[in-house]
Amino acid sequence: MKQALFGFLDATPTALHTACELVRVLSEHGFRRLDERERWDVRSGERYLLVRGASVVAWIQGQRAAAEAGFRIAVAHTDSPGLKLKHSAARNQDGYLVAPVEVYGSPIVSTWLDRDLTIAGSLTVAPQAAPQARDRAALRPAAVPFRLSGACAVIPNLAIHLNRTINDGFAYNMHDHLHAILGIAGNGESQSEPSMTVLQAVAGCAGVEADQVLLAELYLCDTQPAALTGLSGELLSASRLDNRAGCFTVCDALCNSGAGDATAMGVFFDHEEIGSRSWAGADSVLLRHAIERIVGATDGSTEARYRAAAASCIISNDAANALHPSYRDKHDRAYAPILGGGPVLKSDANQRYATVPELSALFAQLCRESGCTMQQLVSRADMRPGSTVGPFSAAQTGIAAIDVGIPLLAMHSMRETAALTDVTALRDVLLRYFR
């Protein structure tokens, strides 16, 4: 599993890349893509998936009707905090080719400075279909994912001689201080149009002509691959473990599951880091509509949909803050998970996490049967925890849910740290859950 995990982490620098890699892996395991615009014909034991933007829904149709056996759903999210490049604002300034950035979500900004960065994202290109093409989808613009090879950008700090108080705590101005240096001014192909220099570089990487590009979504990302660290190689260091590790464990467990009585489903939402309220986020009708259509393909009654929801459950799989040895006062020590201690059940009295008692007991039993220890996370009473896709998924569908995840250090940093054994353990628990 380690090889597959590292391959997944290294292939997914953005949410769109994550969705594309999920589709590739799922397709290799027999999942057939459906179109939301077409009528669905789903059959028991068969594998299906659908894609909306950078969100993916995949399922194995249960042997029994969903109204009787329900759904066993696991959800994660494809996006992570980061910096989006404002390529159209690129300019030659003070001898450099520079471009400002837009902050996506809530990254630890300082960890992005003075690092080797590259550019990844998607280019939406003009359609090339013939005028007589019957397929209307072929006439739509297509998003082409890409990633430049090697480092091509840096956001440099100001020298300490010019900012003597930086180690006392410095607040970066997101607009003024986060300009990426992309090279020396005048070194690009188009000296008069700096923005075109950037576009030509990424278009060439994607294998398209710059004049074909209708829209470019460019993100800065880490060039360093996932790696093992620690004296015994027990720690996993990588960017975007929140929540690519969650996506991997759900996908791998689903791919290795067989058809059971219940319909097993993995859902991978985009836009969690910015609130989930979008056409493809957890606070949308995506999951609810997928469930309704699956039930409707075999029994179109409203009663069947309600019964299916009541017979179902959701495991929301997102990272959990691990006990930090340098900041022990930030945790409630009785509910502070540690790296290598096993999967984490997350609870919050104010429902920032969706956890309900009935499913908590189920997860504890699954951990016991899988041979791993279940840890628990409850934040200090004077601190507000982050949220997940769990509460939104539960509210949109009316299905009971719990929030779980692997313990993680430095969440939202450029590089996050986890224990490899926790990833493996959670994958095994999810496999037992689906089966």
**Quick one: average pLDDT of 216-231?**
96
Q: Is the pLDDT of residue 130 over 50?
A: no
CB atoms near residue 43 (< 10 Å): 9
According to the model, what pLDDT value does residue 139 have? Answer: 56
Quote the pLDDT of residue 386.
Answer: 87
Over residues 32-49, the mean pLDDT reads 95
Distance from the Cα of residue 398 to its chain's centroid: 23
Asked if pLDDT for residue 38 goes beyond 60, the answer is yes
pLDDT of 210-223, one tens digit each? Answer: 888 999 999 999 99
Q: Give me 100's structure tokens.
A: 């400002």
Using the 8-state DSSP alphabet, how is residue 287 labeled? H
pLDDT (mean) for 66-85: 97
Residue 143 scores a pLDDT above 50: yes
Q: Which two tokens stand for residue 120?
A: 């990844």
Statement: residue 136 has pLDDT above 60: no
Mean pLDDT computed over 220-231: 97
359 vs 128: CA distance, rounded Å: 50
Quick check: 111 pLDDT over 50?
yes
pLDDT digits (tens, 9 = 90+) for 166-198: 999 899 999 999 999 999 987 655 455 899 999
What single string gives the DSSP state of each residue in 36-96? TTS-----TT-EEEEEETTEEEEEE--SS-HHHH-EEEEEEE----EEEE-GGG-EEETTE
Q: How far apart are CA 213 and CA 5, in angstroms?
A: 33
Look at residue 54 in the predicted model and tell me its pLDDT: 95
- Do residues 238 and 414 lie in contact, with contact meaning Cβ atoms separated by under 8 Å? no
Q: Are 42 and 297 in contact (CB under 8 A)?
A: yes
Report yes or no: 221 and 121 within 8 Å, Cβ to Cβ.
Answer: no
Question: What confidence score (pLDDT) does residue 137 get?
Answer: 54
Give how far Cα 237 sits from Cα of 149, 225, 325, Å: 20, 9, 17
Q: Please name which of 224, 113, 98, 196 lies closest in space to residue 159, comparing C-alpha atoms.
A: 113
Measured distance CA(15)–CA(192) in Å, rounded: 33
pLDDT attached to residue 133: 44
Mean pLDDT of 273-302: 94
Question: Average pLDDT, whole number, for the chain?
Answer: 93
Q: Is 254 helix (H, G, I), strand (E, B) or coil?
A: helix
CA 93 to chain CA centroid, nearest Å? 35
pLDDT of residue 150: 92
**Residue 153 forms beta bridges with which residues?**
117
Above 80 in pLDDT, residue 41? yes
Predicted local distance difference test score (pLDDT) of residue 129: 45
| Per-residue pLDDT tens over the stretch 96-110 | 999 999 999 999 999
Q: With bands split at pLDDT 50, 70 and 90, how would you rate the model's confidence at 138?
A: low
CB neighbours of 193 closer than 8 A, spacing ≥ 6? none
Please write the tens of the pLDDT for every residue from 352-369.
999 999 899 999 999 999
- Alpha carbon distance 115, 414 (integer Å): 9
Q: Domains of the chain, with CATH numbers?
A: 2-80+239-434 (3.40.630.10), 82-222 (2.30.250.10)
Question: Which of 336, 340, 324 shows the shortest CA–CA distance to 425?
Answer: 340
**Using alpha carbons only, how large is the chain's radius of gyration in Å?**
23
Neighbours of 93 (CB within 10 A): 13
Residue 128 has pLDDT above 50, yes or no: yes
Q: How confident is the model at residue 127 (pLDDT cuts 50, 70, 90)?
A: confident
| Residues linked to residue 102 through DSSP beta bridges, in sequence order | 84
**Which pair of tokens denotes residue 141?**
């613009």
State the pTM of this model: 0.94
DSSP 8-class letter at 153:
B
How far apart (Å, rounded) are the C-alpha atoms in residues 246 and 222? 19
Terminus-to-terminus CA distance in the chain, angstroms?
A: 19
Q: Is the pLDDT of residue 147 over 70?
A: yes
Q: Residue range 45-67: average pLDDT?
A: 96
Contact residues for 6 (Cβ-Cβ < 8 A; gap 6+): 225, 226
Question: Following CA atoms 422, 428, 430, 435 in sequence, which dihedral angle do they give, to the nearest 10 degrees?
Answer: -170
Band the pLDDT of 47: cuts 50, 70, 90. Answer: very high
Q: How many other β-carbons are positioned within 10 Å of the β-carbon of residue 232?
A: 7
Long-range contacts of 365-370 (CB under 8 A, 24+ apart): 366/429, 366/432, 366/433, 367/342, 367/343, 367/425, 367/429, 369/432, 370/425, 370/428, 370/429, 370/432
Say if residues 269 and 389 touch (Cβ distance below 8 Å): yes
Task: State the pLDDT at residue 190.
Answer: 47
**Alpha helices, DSSP H only, in 137-269?**
194-206, 241-255
Which residues are within 8 A (CB) of 297 and not within 5 positions of it... i.e. 6 or more apart?
40, 41, 42
For residue 199, what are its two tokens?
Answer: 């576009």
DSSP string, 168-187: G-----TTTS-PEEEEETT-
pLDDT at 429 over 90: yes
pLDDT of 43 above 60: yes
Largest CA distance in the chain: 71
